[in-house]
Chain A
Amino acid sequence: MKRIGVFICHCGINIAGTVDVKRVAEEVAKLDSVVYAQDYIYMCSDPGQALVREKIRQEKLDGIIIAACSPSLHESTFRTAAEEAGLNPWQCEIANIREQCSWVHTDRKKATEKAIRIVSTMVEKTRLNESLEPIPVSITKKALVIGGGIAGIQAALDIADSGHKVILVEKESSIGGHMAQLSETFPTLDCSQCILTPKMVAAGKHRNIQLMTYSEVEEVSGYVGNFNVRIRRKAPFVDWSTCTGCGLCMEKCPAKVPSEFDRGLSTHGAIYIPFPQAVPNKPVIDRESCIYFKTGKCRLCEKTCEIGAIKFDQEDQIIEEEIGAIITATGYETLPVTELQEYGAGEVPDVIDGLAFERLLSASGPTSGEVRRPSDGRVPKEVVFVQCAGSRDPERYRPYCSKICCMYTTKHALLYKHRVHDGQPYIFYIDIRTGGKGYEEFYHNAEQDEGIIYLRGKVAKIFRDGDKTIVWGTDTLTGRNVEIQADLVVLATAVVPRESTAELVKKLRIQTGPNGFLSEAHPKLRPVESINSGFFIAGVAQGPRDIPETVAQASGAACKVISLFSRDHLEQDPAIAWVDEELCGGCRICISVCPYDAREYDEEKCIARVNEALCEGCGSCVAACACGATQQRNLSDSQIKSMVTASLGGE
């Protein structure tokens, strides 16, 4: 007979406030095999863990149950404590009496009864638990970073600096992301290019970084430490190994394509480099707009290029790589102005979005940094900025706060004022949120000394009247509706996840939340990891954030990867599925239900096997197996039966 100890945590008042923990201890002490039961105020604290270790030794326990919070929080804490006291970690189980009991009930008596049953259920399980050993898995010490914005660049540089190889995959022809589009950055107003381009160059030159731009991840298989990745390198129709980036072809190209980088405020040819500081600084031909690809005639670029770098017959390349860990840093888009019906739906020429205004402010932008409006190129004298355009509007647009707009709108108004001294900026806002180092001071200074008029209220309607753009809003602080005849309107449109990220997460099999941003394993304690092991996340792909936060998180994700790579091998949880070869009839239903591709068919023996490295122990195949051949370690049929009985009160 096993000797089981039960340790019941008060979790301060989190559990003890609703559950009578003393009674739980008394009742479970009466169960078969339970030789020790004790409550304590904070079981996870140092003295709490010391108690667990001491009693394992003293009472010669060969199984323990910690009745406390969710196993996702502290299972590993207590299993480590058990191991330190000489107990096999898989003989330690968690009975969740917090999330699944005290937090969701108010009736003390019933909650106490339920807690007793939850613990009794785990006693049944523990009675039949086997001691297990972790499964060692080898590890490929090479990282893949998807997305070459500031998040991806920072993560790649940190990992590369630690001596490990990194592949940085970027779908555009240059790395840099949105930060490359920005003029100056809050709260210090340092020029974005000046702080970004050195990092771009460093990433491009680093001997441990393999830059793959104009590329996308096609397929990912495998598991933590051992991923197989297929990457498609799109054909740029230019031989980058010989191209010197002289740019002559771009000058000659007769096609006119609106520049995505300049938010449509300028055009470039069908052969182009998105911006002069691009890394790598090599052109690509946009197949869709190239006259030759459309009509079969032109090839001017080819004639211009003296070294013959233009290659119209180039094809996409597929590259396969073995990878140990993957960071997803695919960033964001902003809600298109066309979606905002009440703000002109993109049809009023002098209503632009924040990124377009960044391009107008930028010294390397289409107006060389002079603020000129799109409709007639005039310098606008009254400029209205509208915050929360599509954010914080659960009824019609996005429910969340885009977080960066309060700060960048103030920055915009300030930079506008620095360029147009007699101009008047107005900012419509719902709240001004300046939580960040130096942010409140930045806003305070703008409000007090820069003549920016802040109007508290949402704009109802924007429309064109002659060459003016009329803004109807309100100022709740005076209780007055307000009309402004603006020369230019800038919308702080909602930050949204990139559409292509939805496709990518399916390939990676990682999760997104309700708004399409990547989900973290734990919002507070595991913010840079995905739930699936080996996947990490960084930057705005996870949710709106500014550059300082993005960089901090990217370094955090890199650190996780480096710590993973610092081990000789990985340990896989052994509580997974196994097959009784005698019983398996080879029906293969398990293969079709496994969500992790962990089941495979052995042609020779005509049975289904478990790939131990891939199995996550979800139990799908165990439930599907008709002949009982597939079982899960420490969750056998007999364990489950007695657990069900115990949870129903033992009848």
Chain B
Amino acid sequence: MSERTGLAPPKSPPVRLTRETVSGGFKKRVIELSGQNMDSCYQCGNCSSGCPVAQEMDILPNRIMRLAQLGLKDDIIHSATLWICASCFQCTVRCPRGIDIQGVMDTLRQIALDEGVDHFGPDQIDPEQAASVPQPGLVGVYRKLST
């Protein structure tokens, strides 16, 4: 028997891809601010498998890269992943295509803040969870909050 009950909420709405989404505004901005070519990512998943805080993320780093490739801004800026990211640079060091993923994460956080999307607040940490989150993760979160 599974320990969870009920059905998962629907979260795969279809998307309409156009020239504008896949190479227009949002994507251009990410490339410009981060200086990274996300199109180089071939979805090997090395960034995710090496990430020390991946287990806390709602979207794994490689999926964030994929969403950015397709310009799916809304999926990204509402993701908790941006704020769980510990900025530890594991992903950047491991990426076989030489992409600075943590740099992209920084850019995405910046865009999320610009867009006024609610980000991670100290009151949101469940004390029990706080005890289990790795310390670099918490330090990372607060450092980001002070930018």
Q: Hey, which bits of chain A sit against chain B, CB under 8 A?
A: 381-382, 422-424, 426, 444, 447-449, 451, 453, 455-456, 475, 477-485
Contact = CB atoms under 8 A, between A and B. Distances in A.
B80 interface: no
B142 interface: no
Contact of B37 (A448, A477, A480): A448
B147 interface: no
Given A424-B23, A451-B23, A477 B66 contact: yes
A482 B97 CA distance: 26
A635 B66 CA distance: 68
B17 A484 contact: yes
B29 interface: no
Nearest to A452: B39
Given A426-B17, A484-B17, A478 B70 contact: yes
B13 interface: yes
B18 A485 contact: yes
Contacts, number: 65
B69 A480 contact: no
A36 B127 CA distance: 83
A448 B72 CA distance: 18
B19 A478 contact: no
B14 A481 contact: yes
B66 A381 contact: no
B67 interface: yes
B14 A482 contact: yes
Given A451-B39, A478-B67, A478-B70, A424 B19 contact: yes
A473 B123 CA distance: 42
Given A448-B39, A448-B40, A451-B23, A479 B12 contact: yes
B8 interface: no
Interface in B1-32: 12-19, 22-23
Given A451-B39, A478-B66, A483 B16 contact: yes
A424 B18 CA distance: 8
A381 B17 contact: no
A451 B39 CA distance: 7
Contacts of A478: 15, 63, 66-67, 70, 72, 75
B40 A480 contact: no
Contacts of A381: 19
A423 B18 CA distance: 11
B17 A483 contact: yes
Contacts of A382: 18-19
A147 B12 CA distance: 51
Given A447-B39, A447-B42, A483 B69 contact: no
